[in-house]
Every structure is written in structure tokens, then in C-alpha cells.
Amino acid sequence: MRNKIREKLSDGGVSIGSWLNLGSPQAAEVMAAAGFDWLAVDAEHSPVGITEIANMFRAIESRGATPIVRVWDHAPETIGRVLDAGTFGIVPPHVSTPEQAAQIAQACRYPPWGRRSSGSGRAGTWGPDYRTWIDREVVVIPQIEDREGIQNAEAIMEIEGVDIGFLGPGDLSLEMGVAAGSSEHEEAIQHFLAACDRVGKPCGIPVGSAEELLKRKEQGFVFFDLSNDMSFLAAEAGRQLREAREE
């Protein structure tokens, strides 16, 4: 299996995925069938266990998308477990320092470069040569969500094994104590984008609509989380119901 994120970005393209908050393998399959490059299981905020996560990976793969996951902490054991379950990307939340980023990157790859533990798991079904290629395919995507992370952005992105910078605009605005979309908030976002650009690594951001995605693309962002399964369901259900009730 190839990582569509790497393929798109290495060719100079844009990679568009979405978030999975419903915890449903069927919803994951529906989203993958829609044509997203990748889908991220949100294990930080959704009530999912490792079995549900693995089943969602299976559903994503079945329709040709790349499965990744936002983990609930930075522990090497957590990262190793979701890698063994079959993820091709790790999104660790609340990364604020290069030291954190380095530890996460090492936890995602086998020795001699990294510190990932070798064990049996679902990922082993890809064959005995799995360990010879997964280190090249997996993507490490630290999520920056506070002022310290913004200040350390360039140092974080310079870490070997960090592949894509990714913002968490919502938590960033909360931590900064400013409204999302304010001048201070936007300045921090642009600072992070510039830091990724200086290092020569792709920069990503969540967006709520195609219109917002196109705006951010013009600014230089290339990795997009376009909404999530829960929001898509709520928006379409609400729209259809409003139309049905119109007199």
C-alpha cells in the first residue's frame, strides 16, 4: 500500500483529507468512497478503542484512501499500538517543542533510526518485509496548538522525521485568549506557514468549507483537513430537513 499523502505532496500537489469523529467504520468507508486522499481517525476526542480504530483503518483502505490517526497522547506505546493497527500517519496533538517532535518522530520508526518496538500486529499482514518500507511511507504530522509551538515552529519543523506541519486553529485561539479569525490569531497562523516554508516542509490546516480551502491554498497551504464526518452529516441532515419543512 502506498501513502497517498506522500504521493500527492512529493509531486507538488495538494492533499485533501477529512476527520472522522463518529467512530464508525461504515461512516469511514462512506467518506473514503467519496474520494478523499486520506482520513484521520480522531482518537483524541472520539470515544473509540483500538479495535474500532483498526476496523476504521480497514474500511478506509478498502476504498483506496490512506488511514491516519490523531493520537490521544505522545507516549511511544500509544504511537506503536496504532502503527501496529495499520496507520500510515500520526498526528500528535499539542506539540510545542522540538524535543517533543523528535521523540514522536523516533517512536514512529524502527531502529537504527528510531525507537519503534517490533511486535506482532495487524500491520504484519502486509508481509515479512513490512519493516523494510514502512519507515519511508509513514508521515509524522505534529499539530501546533499554542503560542509556544508557534514560537518554536521552525525548530519543530527542522526535526528529522517530521514530515508535515499542521495547525490546530481552534485550540490556538483558546490558548492565545483571542477570537478565531482575529488579527492576532491570523498573524500566528501566517507565522507558522512561513516557518514551514523556510524549512521546506508542507504546511496544513483544517478548513470548514471548499471556499476556505481555496483561500488557504492561495496562501501556500497544501495539506487540508476538510471538515469531518459528523459535521457533514449534521449539515446535510439540517439542510434537507429545512427544505422539507419549507411551505
List, by residue number, the catalytic residues. 45
CA-based end-to-end distance of the chain: 51
The helix (H) or strand (E) run that includes residue 204 is: strand 203-207
Distances, alpha carbon 145 to alpha carbons 14, 165, 171, in Å: 22, 11, 5
Q: Which runs of consecutive H residues, i.e. helices, occur in 108-246?
A: 130-137, 147-151, 153-157, 169-176, 183-199, 210-219, 229-245
Say which residues have a Cβ less than 8 Å from residue 71's Cβ, sequence separation at least 6: 43, 44, 78, 79, 82, 90, 91, 92, 93
Q: What percent of the residues of the chain are helix, what percent strand, and what percent coil, each to the nearest 5?
A: 50, 15, 35
Task: Please say whether the beta carbons of 47 and 68 come within 8 A.
Answer: no
C-alpha cell at 236: 446535510
